[in-house]
Amino acid sequence: MTVTGIGGAGGPILAEDGLGHYREDGFTVVRGLFGAEEIERLCAEFAALRAAGPVPGHFEPRASTDPLRACPRVMHPHEINDLARSVLLDARLRSVLEVLLGEEVLAAQSMFYFKPPGARGQALHQDNFYLRVEPGTCVAAWIACDVIDRDNGGLELVPGTHRMDLFCPEEADAELSFAREYVPPPPWLSAVPVDMAPGDVLFFNGSLVHGSQPNHTADRFRRSFIGHYVGRSAERIGAYYRTLTMSGERVPLQESEGAGPCGTEFAPHGPH
């Protein structure tokens, strides 16, 4: 496993070996794709959204001792916020995604995770289990908005699993994961952590098994903005995902079966 990808001023955004590592491992990282001021503005925008209260269908916090119910992820923020839409459709993301997918790119989803101190993680899973892109798969662009490491619940990836079919998930541990689905990696493969700095972007294949541990820190959020994308040759996707060109025009695809939002959440129980 190798984490690569550096965008230099005036040079290509995706490093020469980035595509090779993506094909081999199922992911690659472009360091510093977004600047510090851009990330600060993005975080301020979502802090304001959080302070303003619920937005039905997108962000619905509840009074709870569970940090993820008091401060849940924001689903499809690009449909309610201009800055989120501009990030999802950013030309720098497009340039990398076109190389990775080898064709024109469509945006399918955006999400923003606050992941406060003490929040549960998300058990190992595959994104295309939820999007159900056919033919092919989706690609995620996962933008770090904080210093992200093992302590505050950074992503862990299982290199090589992108070459495998979708697995049938088991039930996750509700004390560790907010989502029900858990995909145990094959016994000959193991998950590796990816540490990130604000502005780094992790690109990974929709069949790649990945997840995160809880945020074990007392005072550090693990904020991230995520976009999911598909190639223009895709014919079907779950009805929850409303595909757009990277110029913002709606491109309806046929509906695929068995799809749903990324991560089927456990119902509230006990202290959650």
CATH of residue 140: 2.60.120.620
Task: Identify each DSSP E strand in the chain by its residue range.
Answer: 27-30, 74-75, 105-113, 122-125, 139-144, 155-157, 170-171, 181-182, 192-193, 201-205, 210-212, 224-231, 236-237, 244-245, 254-255
- pLDDT (tens digit, 0 to 9) for every residue of the chain, 272 residues total? 333 333 333 446 887 789 999 999 999 999 999 999 999 999 999 999 999 989 999 999 998 999 999 999 999 999 999 999 999 999 999 999 999 999 999 999 999 999 999 999 999 999 999 999 999 999 999 999 999 999 999 999 999 999 999 999 999 999 999 999 999 999 999 999 999 999 999 999 999 999 999 999 999 999 999 999 999 999 999 999 999 999 999 999 999 988 888 878 887 644 43
Task: Tell me what pLDDT residue 105 has.
Answer: 98
Does the residue 265 lie in any domain? no
Does the residue 199 lie in any domain? yes
Task: Tell me what pLDDT residue 5 has.
Answer: 38
| Nearest residue to 259 via CA among 107, 88, 132, 156 | 132
Does the residue 4 lie in any domain? no
Does the residue 266 lie in any domain? no
Based on C-alpha coordinates, what's the Rg of the chain?
A: 17
Backbone angles phi, psi at 222, to 5 degrees: -130, 75
The pTM (predicted TM-score) of the whole model is 0.93
Report the C-alpha gap between 107 and 119 in whole angstroms: 28
| Structural domain total, the chain | 1
Report the C-alpha gap between 129 and 150 in whole angstroms: 25
Does the residue 201 lie in any domain? yes
Is 246 strand, coil or helix?
coil
Residue 194 contacts residue 3 (beta carbons within 8 Å): yes
Residue type, 140: A
Does the residue 12 lie in any domain? no
Does the residue 260 lie in any domain? no
Question: How far is the CA of 148 from the CAs of 143, 156, 176, 180, in angstroms?
Answer: 11, 11, 18, 24
Q: For 114-138, b where at least 16 C-beta lie within 10 A, e where not — what string?
A: bbbbebbbbbbbbbbbbbbbbebbb
What is the residue range of 222's domain?
18-255
Does the residue 138 lie in any domain? yes
